Each structure stands twice: as C-alpha cells, then as structure tokens.
Amino acid sequence: MLYTVNKSPIMFRNLETCLRIAPAGDPILLYEDGVYAAVAGATTDALVQEMLNQHPVYVLEADVQARGLTRLISGIEVVGYDRFVDLVVEHNVTPWM
C-alpha cells in the first residue's frame, strides 16, 4: 500500500498518525503541504528519520519547487508526477489526508 500525506507535519499530526498505521516497507509519498516534512532542521527531523528507517519515502518535486524548499533531508527521494503515477501502479493508495 502506498500512503500519501499532504499536510505539514508541524501544523498537523497526519504524518505521525500515518506512521503508526503504515506497515514497515510500505512507501510514503509527501505531496502538497506534506512536503514540509522533507525539510532538514525542523522539529520533525527525528520523526522523519524514524520514517526513513522503516519506509521508502518520496517527495513530490513540483511541490518542493513551488515552496522554494532547498535543504532537504537526505534519503528522501525527490520524484516527479511520473514517478507518483508509477508508485500508484505498483501499489494501491491510502490517502492519509
């Protein structure tokens, strides 16, 4: 199952509650305001590191670029919409919105 998260992890608990459900190994895609989780140096660093230990994590490039985010946590793969589509082909989707 692909879990997708579209909320800022500092403003909302979506990422945190997603991570207690999503089984280890299931991919997680950050998009829309969910991409703020990929920013290094925020209070959510530890949560995101924990996520990276358990899941392949992707962040949508168009949303990163739109928000001017540059300092991204390494290990998160920056992907285009084409890869988003591939992930949906490879997995069913649970939008954790």
Partner 1 sequence: MKFGILVLEGPYQHEAADSAYQFAQAAIAKGHTIEGIFFYTDGVNNVNKFMKPPAERVISRRWAEFAEEHDVDMVACVAGAIYRGMTKEIATEHVRIAGLGQLAELAQKTDRLVSFGD
Partner 2 sequence: MTENSEPKKVMVLMRRAPYGTFYIFEGLQTMLVMGAYELDISLAFADDGVYAVTDGQDPSALQMKPLARTFRALPDFDIDQIYIHKDSLEERGLTLDDLVVEPEVLTSEELAQVIANQDVVLPF
Task: By CB under 8 A, name the binding residues for partner 1.
Answer: 6, 31-33, 62-63, 80-82, 84-86, 88-89, 92-93, 95, 97
Closest distance to partner 1 from the beta carbon of 52 (Å) = 24
- DSSP classification of residue 7: S
Residues that bind partner 2 (CB under 8 A): 1, 13, 17, 20-23, 92-97
The smaller minimum CB distance to partner 1, of residues 52 and 83, is found at 83
Whether residue 41 contacts residue 13, with contact meaning beta carbons closer than 8 Å, is answered with no
- Residues in CB range of 49: below 8 A, 6 or more apart: 73
CA–CA dist 81, 71 (Å, integer): 21
Closest distance to partner 1 from the beta carbon of 51 (Å) = 21
